[in-house]
Structure 1
């Protein structure tokens, strides 16, 4: 595709979106198609309009919610200051125009602007007198537009009068460079490339007052920069720096500010805004000198302390580490900690976001997207060391490569040849191993290309006799047969997939750069196969990511989510996206996606209750799933820790089950005994999937749970659950007990025998060991089980709340177990009998399990759990692989 045609398509799309923005009602598909044809005639374009129409439909339908914030009401802050004084809009207007030029619909631009204005209101008015500081946190979603948001906040802050702006863009050069480039387009308006210092982006507007910057795409703030004699007040425009979160960089910046700008140790006349992107990074679990968390943290606090008027705003999609900052910590030298004491703002993702819920929680879409890696351990074991030899790549990785080539071909057939298309391979933190992986992939890529070149133009054979053509056909039939094109069409277009295909190793030791902009200027789409470690795991945007292959064994919540580069926006190719992960990682991602959904919902509930950031911080620290984050650093030294936990609004289940037949039989006898007695004389009410006993005395439920035998690894959690039930007994003296049973599973009510529910047990060896079975996705109950036993009125009320819930990401706005849990409003004990399938060793087994669902509202109730490294690893898996310790990679 020529440069002019690619640019022409973008011009048509932007013009089409702008024309649709004037409509009062959302346009139909027919209306968009009609306007697209009209625009094509104006631009004298006779090419395929399908992609233009698809992207326009997505643009006009994309909406962003207002989000929700928790604020410290005692801080005497008036967030309406943004509306009470007249604020210029040059920078924010230019930025919004830039977004529209980039294809954003005006509705989306307007909603982003409204959110940025709300966040600005949480900052201090830069014109206000006296000394002040503000601390806040904005929680976004991985790859969902946090950069677009903080750029909007920066533009509005500059309009309002913030004079000095620092953006800390993670700990790696490639992310800092990427952020610098984006801000040059959207705010600075001038390229910092010494070979091309021209006005760009917003800078093309007549009369635009370019902000000053002391960093470039090639250079961070350095000692050399600090030795210059510039002062902040030498500039009449805002100054912005884009820096790495690096001790030396921060130290150089601090010295320059102190020595050339401070009077009597303070800078009193310059309002300063510090944007800390990836705010949780370099804060925990690293011992590298340049990103030492204690020194990094103290240097940021020292810089903030230099300014009498300062605001610090952290941005992250994984807020766990930030919440563990002690809000009361204070040091005479560096002053207040970075805990977001003044506000926490949770952003809503746009409705077109391809996020964790779609990939891991929604069973229908997850089944299409996620693929299991079951062979990598034999080739690149998760415990491999720096310098180890890679004998060969796992077959699953070669299958993923085949998928990528076919997917790129289909995207080309859909008219997306000028769009970027990427594959991500993340199997090692070591540069030496990454290079070996690159060599194998390069060799295979070349063999496939030669096979395609020799065969793609030939007549379609009955059987693909060439090995590599046969593999590509298998990939098509296995994954993409419903893509809208026949194999004959895909086959004939395969060679085009290799146009502009580049194989890149992305880490701190390589010169390979993911320079998508270079290809955009040429009007072509880069087809990138990217191999790397931490650089691919945090912050860096991989454009057009279609196929992801990741085999890493970390269980750290924040690290896992940040590795999810596959989240984002996938216009007109979402159906082609595939994510390859180990079974263990699939389960952990599912678990984390549900946990973070619950965390965001908790912010909304706490907002309604007018609770503060510090109260939310306490809630997160007491969240059962936060134990891993709290204790991980100490666990590496084997230190035992005592952690307070709350099970407020949680469902906790015995997802690691004992496999002893004797234990299973004893638990079935226990179930029958209490069932016979009606759990203390309560009637058994049928639910259609078993029976419910309502209003069971807490003591009866505790006796039942006490007698229920569990796997030794789950015993401490069982004790904590029983202790918590006992603690909330005054507020909840009775519970409901739900016996879940399937008639088709051998149910026999007369014999007090539950019908089994089948669960897949065809898993890797590490999931069935030590006499225990770790259930898939760490889940015992099926979705919707918590509605069993509710009245029709309660069920309908839960469904209504789900439909009105802006946090509900299910495609049909269906009610979740959390919605049903809120309607029950009392503890629920659920009892199951499971039958393992797809495992000959466990065939025919009946294995009882249980779960306890706790009501919400018991914010201050906690129990203490004593944990050591062994217990943590039983509950959460190995703590050995933390990508923040990638000494050889980064």
Structure 2
């Protein structure tokens, strides 16, 4: 009976797939005429019964969930004007299905309206073409590479919502490419920004699938600068997009370049049943293989020649385009390889102007960017020149960069038409569900006092372990990290034995990253080997250490964060799994793999595709960008970098950690000091990166909103949205940061907190003098402020001195304040000038909050004020000084939050009033300079502040940013103070 119902709904949904929703009952009755015995199931009442008894109808519910999400996520359907992923869109779906309210509620219960936000796109206007003609590409029929890829992801246990989200994100990319069959050629250039190790490959695989379905016939994937990353990308595309039949092309199984690959042997590569061309669509010809990069082609360059059904028509004509085979190559960013490709393309007979080409540039901020400012007499860097040659000779080529660190790309000179600047669009992918990223290792804006943090409420406490090196001896920390690796391995085997099943954890790795130099790796190998072979994991001393580490670390963290996975009640329950764990790691007498050259990959030592790997990896550059270290659980990281992009790409501990998220540990270098050493703190550097990255994405999200049908910013105006601080760790290398300047940033109801305060005593004294008249007006006694959230969540409180000061006086102070990097505050100051002149702000509530109840105080002028002790995070920058719960009070006063429910807070709330939080900061080096009476030399005091302008202070128009263009050959957008 259930099988007939399932068959009926398969036919109904098959008919609706790729089209608009239609009347359900009519469709069921129509399909039931061709299915013997199915008519009793062709009623809405029967459908409701099936939705009520989900356990008996899982396959049917899954089918409907998948289809509903496709309709929910569709970006521009002709059948609904409601926004995607909204109750209004779902209501339109149910209305067109003709179902009653009870059925609609059951559908929503089984397929909740997706809450994931839409992709954020900064772009220019484009000519819609993709959705209007997408049905021609058989996106939801049996044919089509996208459809097969979508089905493969479902078989890999992607949720219907995740597949639908990928569908929407890839649509947002493909629709901004040029129409491959348009008579007039257009070269679109875009950039997709993801997170480190967050699934960018899945996105560009989906884009390639949709692009070839739409008519793109040459796909060039530029996959990093290393052989192992190129091979990893080639295999992924071959396995999930190209498929067995296109790989073999009639050859025997044992002739495949994947003949020794477990996934090939187990038939986990995509299969179409026969060559796509035999089934009425088109094949994909590989021009590179897993083991071989692009090589010069022989025999008249036949492999690159495109066949035409109608020779008199151009290749891009639909008559020819949709019958021609596509070509795919995955190549390294290597001058020799790319020169071969350019040379061969110039030899083929098919006019290059007729070929729709898609160039995917993975890790596009590495090697692709020209690091010389383009002048008439300047030369491009080698890889950039090769890419420029491709774009110049292929007028129908679309360039699409992928990166998690976009700063180098957005700083490219947009006036250079032959370069890879993303002139048409920049798309920011949302953080995927289940992803463990940078913020999961930090307590950004934590509202819990440090003394009250636990393994449950603190990411740092749960996952981060300090490596504080004295006299270059890190042996104790290294032993602890290796012990944790062994314990985590035992925990994984324990979980396999308690519900997850044998082989659930294919890989289990530890990464040690201290240097990129081969000589350092050799020395490190000796040290780690000594630690391993002296660990005594089968004896009493080893078990004693593991027991203590389990009791003091693993047990407590897993109890708080295991997410339902099995946790031993005591170490004795885990002890039987220690031996098998040690055997999996070192049973072959080779527990450590050094990955610093092609030899390691060629011998299969670090090839995650061909065998399970339970090893300690020692590496540098080859494991710091793009390459996925599978099963990574313990990271031991002590390598410094010169800029944000380089350091973030080294964060291999980011990724998906299904079944062992609670076991992930980061052993990271903290403050190192001593003779001849410079103090540094890698953990604080990563925290700063987190904040800068989040701020950049928030800016993109805000500016992606259209104003009067026009984009607020174009990609050419994105560079100023990147952090313009003067940091120890700039966003990217300085020779890529030029060409635009931010003049004004409007921030009604948004917290702004500059951090680039001066270091010279004379400048610090000047700032104290500027603020002194305001400080003298502060109340002599503090007031208790509070904010009570409407949903009953724990409220926020603040004790602060206070004053109300006119907008003109505050502006005069802010105009006189001195900075170490003046450019950082200049766009905010321009905004404050405009809203003061226009009367959008009439006065400011100046609050001087206490950091805590026991905070010491300072004497400044006629007032005793709370003292804040802070260290500059990245010379000369402070991090965020204010507390999140204090900012909540300021937001309410500025009208950015609803009623606080607190009379003191509400007494400060008036229309056109902003809020300023003032923080007198004494740095550690000057604490001893505080006099017995609580005063201090103003030259040792940094008066820092943050502000929230009134939420109504929008400015002269509805735009939120204003720019000016600079001459890229003479001026830098990032101006450093001397």
Aligned partner of 2:221 in structure 1 is 167
TM-score scaled to structure 2, two decimals?
Answer: 0.67
Aligned partner of 1:183 in structure 2 is 237
Q: In the alignment, is residue 245 of structure 1 matched against residue 318 of structure 2?
A: no
* Contact kept? 1:171, 1:245, Cα under 8 Å: yes
Distance in 2, Cα, partners of 1:214 & 1:18 = 39
Aligned partner of 1:81 in structure 2 is 132
Q: In the alignment, is residue 341 of structure 1 matched against residue 392 of structure 2?
A: no
* Contact kept? 1:408, 1:497, Cα under 8 Å: yes
Distance in 1, Cα, partners of 2:965 & 2:916 = 19
Q: Of residues 591, 608, 631 in structure 2, which corresponds to 1:544?
A: 631
* Contact kept? 1:378, 1:394, Cα under 8 Å: no
* Contact kept? 2:723, 2:731, Cα under 8 Å: no
Q: Of residues 145, 148, 156 in structure 1, which corresponds to 2:202?
A: 148
Aligned partner of 1:490 in structure 2 is 574
Shift of 1:431: 1.5
Aligned partner of 2:806 in structure 1 is 696
Aligned partner of 1:730 in structure 2 is 837
Per-residue deviation, residues 732-767 of structure 1 (Å, max 9, x unmatched): 6656333222553256999632233455x6xxxx97
Aligned partner of 2:865 in structure 1 is 754
Q: Of residues 477, 488, 504 in structure 2, which corresponds to 1:396?
A: 477
Q: In the alignment, is residue 739 of structure 1 matched against residue 848 of structure 2?
A: yes
Shift of 1:684: 9.1
Q: Of residues 346, 351, 356 in structure 2, which corresponds to 1:258?
A: 346
Change (3 A) 1:63 1:154: farther
* Contact kept? 1:723, 1:863, Cα under 8 Å: no
Aligned partner of 2:777 in structure 1 is 677
Which residues of 2 match residues 740-819 of structure 1 at below 5 A? 740-741=849-850, 742-746=852-856, 752-757=863-868, 778-791=879-892, 794=895, 796-797=897-898
* Contact kept? 2:783, 2:799, Cα under 8 Å: no
Aligned partner of 1:277 in structure 2 is 362
Distance in 2, Cα, partners of 1:647 & 1:447 = 59
Distance in 2, Cα, partners of 1:716 & 1:512 = 47
Per-residue deviation, residues 118-173 of structure 1 (Å, max 9, x unmatched): 32212222222232221111111111111011101111111122111111111111
Per-residue deviation, residues 221-271 of structure 1 (Å, max 9, x unmatched): 0236798543331594211000011111111101111112454xxx13321
Shift of 1:826: 7.8
Q: Of residues 575, 596, 600 in structure 1, which corresponds to 2:662?
A: 575
Shift of 1:337: 2.6
Distance in 1, Cα, partners of 2:915 & 2:303 = 66
Q: In the alignment, is residue 157 of structure 1 matched against residue 211 of structure 2?
A: yes
* Contact kept? 2:513, 2:618, Cα under 8 Å: yes
Aligned partner of 2:442 in structure 1 is 360
User: What SS does the corresponding residue of 1:241 show, helix, strand or coil?
Assistant: strand
Distance in 1, Cα, partners of 2:191 & 2:899 = 31
Of 856-865 and 600-609, deviating more is: 856-865
Shift of 1:67: 1.0
Q: In the alignment, is residue 410 of structure 1 matched against residue 491 of structure 2?
A: yes
Aligned partner of 2:118 in structure 1 is 66
* Contact kept? 1:21, 1:107, Cα under 8 Å: no
* Contact kept? 2:305, 2:349, Cα under 8 Å: yes
Shift of 1:779: 2.3
Change (3 A) 1:744 1:345: same
Change (3 A) 1:561 1:793: same
Q: Of residues 245, 257, 262 in structure 2, which corresponds to 1:193?
A: 257
Change (3 A) 1:853 1:795: closer
In structure 2, stretches of 5+ residues that fail to align are 1-55, 67-110, 248-255, 277-282, 308-322, 373-378, 447-456, 559-566, 586-590, 671-680, 787-797, 901-909
Distance in 2, Cα, partners of 1:124 & 1:403 = 51
Per-residue deviation, residues 344-402 of structure 1 (Å, max 9, x unmatched): 222112232212222235444432345354434743xxxxxxxxxxxx65432332222
* Contact kept? 2:370, 2:384, Cα under 8 Å: no
Change (3 A) 1:863 1:588: farther
Shift of 1:697: 2.3
Shift of 1:184: 0.9
Q: Aligned-pair RMSD on alpha carbons?
A: 4.6
Distance in 2, Cα, partners of 1:505 & 1:145 = 26
* Contact kept? 2:413, 2:739, Cα under 8 Å: no
Per-residue deviation, residues 507-561 of structure 1 (Å, max 9, x unmatched): 2354246969977777xx5213121112111111111211112212224121122
Aligned length: 746
Q: Of residues 148, 152, 155 in structure 2, which corresponds to 1:94?
A: 148
Shift of 1:853: 3.7
Distance in 1, Cα, partners of 2:764 & 2:494 = 56
Shift of 1:66: 2.9
Shift of 1:625: 2.9
Per-residue deviation, residues 789-812 of structure 1 (Å, max 9, x unmatched): 44489454599xxxxxxxxxxxxx
Change (3 A) 1:443 1:322: same
In structure 1, stretches of 5+ residues that fail to align are 1-14, 26-58, 331-335, 380-391, 456-465, 800-822, 875-890
User: What SS does the corresponding residue of 1:124 show, helix, strand or coil?
Assistant: coil
Aligned partner of 1:473 in structure 2 is 547
Change (3 A) 1:515 1:161: farther
Distance in 2, Cα, partners of 1:471 & 1:373 = 18
User: What SS does the corresponding residue of 1:248 show, helix, strand or coil?
Assistant: helix
User: What SS does the corresponding residue of 2:539 show, helix, strand or coil?
Assistant: helix
* Contact kept? 1:280, 1:316, Cα under 8 Å: yes
Q: Of residues 499, 506, 509 in structure 1, which corresponds to 2:595?
A: 506
Aligned partner of 1:810 in structure 2 is none
* Contact kept? 1:422, 1:547, Cα under 8 Å: yes
Aligned partner of 1:305 in structure 2 is 392
Q: Does 1 or 2 have the higher relative contact order (CA < 8 Å, sep 6+)?
A: 1
Distance in 1, Cα, partners of 2:258 & 2:271 = 18
* Contact kept? 2:467, 2:667, Cα under 8 Å: no
User: What SS does the corresponding residue of 1:314 show, helix, strand or coil?
Assistant: strand
Change (3 A) 1:348 1:624: closer
Per-residue deviation, residues 315-342 of structure 1 (Å, max 9, x unmatched): 1111111111122213xxxxx3322222
Q: Which structure has the bigger radius of gyration?
A: 2
* Contact kept? 2:304, 2:327, Cα under 8 Å: no
Distance in 2, Cα, partners of 1:205 & 1:516 = 32
Distance in 2, Cα, partners of 1:734 & 1:280 = 45
Of 573-582 and 863-872, deviating more is: 863-872
Q: Of residues 447, 454, 458 in structure 1, which corresponds to 2:534?
A: 447
Shift of 1:641: 11
Shift of 1:653: 3.6
User: What SS does the corresponding residue of 2:537 show, helix, strand or coil?
Assistant: helix
Shift of 1:648: 5.0
Which residues of 2 match residues 13-28 of structure 1 at below 5 A? 21=62
User: What SS does the corresponding residue of 1:396 show, helix, strand or coil?
Assistant: helix
* Contact kept? 1:376, 1:551, Cα under 8 Å: no
Shift of 1:690: 0.9
Q: Of residues 648, 669, 689 in structure 2, which corresponds to 1:592?
A: 689
Shift of 1:305: 2.7
